[in-house]
Structure 1
């Protein structure tokens, strides 16, 4: 089986393509009717779907993995544990699932990249949902200890009240809409009219 496109994507850290590459390869192998289950990179395939936040596809893939594979490959189970936590929106335990397993060299890069991406997603979630949040809660959502979480958000412009142990969220500046000059709108209208007639 030729996994060169998958290996290339992993080596170039192009993790957003992993799920599509694996899906395409899986369809090709299935169409050929050849046995592939013993050598299929199920953990990488699951992690590829998780990386692009396609939990439905990861869940479907998990259901199709033979029981013998699940029993013999702990990394596959560890990858799905991340997916399960995402599926149930157990945000805090996603970090635990990422950290508690000793990932293979092939999976380490995508797991590290997903962890960073997930922290950014959680930060954006906090940014949109809170005006103030306790240091303890921010640390849970960001998967960090309290000191690291505080440093992380303070670097993003948030402020900390030491006495209350609360963080004040700094909302991102909303970009002002560009106003359209009425003369430009008139020229655009004339141009479109000219094209249509």
Structure 2
């Protein structure tokens, strides 16, 4: 079984491709009739789908994993725990699942990158959904301590109300497009026409 494409993707940190690469490799190996169930990198495969936010594929992969593999490989169960927390929108559980397992050298880069990406996605979610939020809730969503979450928010332009223990979210400035009305467009056309003739 040639996993060089997968190893190259892991080495180059092309984590968004891992789920698809594993799916394709699994189909290729299965078409040869070779038994691969015990040797398959299920945890990396699951984490690849989790990283790509493809929870349906992760869920179907989990269902197809033999029970013997689930019982003998703790990392596979730990990877699925992240998927379960995502499925249930258990934000704190996702971060706890990431930190709560001693990941293999093959998986640690992928899990770390997912954790960082997930915190950034949640930060953007907070920016779009709230105008103020408690420090405790911010820390829960970002998977940080309250001090770290406060510091992170302040670095991104939020303001801190120490008496209420609330953060005021700074919305990004939106650039609005200037719309031309038809009379201005007509004037411009006439002016250019006059210059050319």
Q: TM-score, normalised by structure 2?
A: 0.90
Shift of 1:65: 0.1
CA RMSD of aligned residues (A): 1.3
Paired position in structure 2 for 1:161: 161
Paired position in structure 2 for 1:6: 6
Cα deviations by residue, 1:136-171 (Å, 9 ceiling, x for unpaired): 111111111000000001101000011111000000
Distance 2:112 2:158 in 1: 25
CA 1:7–1:173 in 2, change beyond 3 Å: closer, same or farther? same
Distance 2:12 2:57 in 1: 23
Distance 1:5 1:182 in 2: 55
Pairing 1:111-190 to 2, within 5 Å after superposition: 111-177=111-177, 179=179, 182=185
Q: TM-score, normalised by structure 1?
A: 0.90
Cα deviations by residue, 1:94-136 (Å, 9 ceiling, x for unpaired): 0000000000000000000000000001101111111000111
Structure 1: gaps of 5 or more residues: 187-197
Cα deviations by residue, 1:16-53 (Å, 9 ceiling, x for unpaired): 01001000001101111110011100000000000010
Shift of 1:175: 2.0
Structure 2: gaps of 5 or more residues: 190-197
Distance 2:168 2:62 in 1: 40
Paired position in structure 1 for 2:64: 64
CA 1:10–1:129 in 2, change beyond 3 Å: closer, same or farther? same
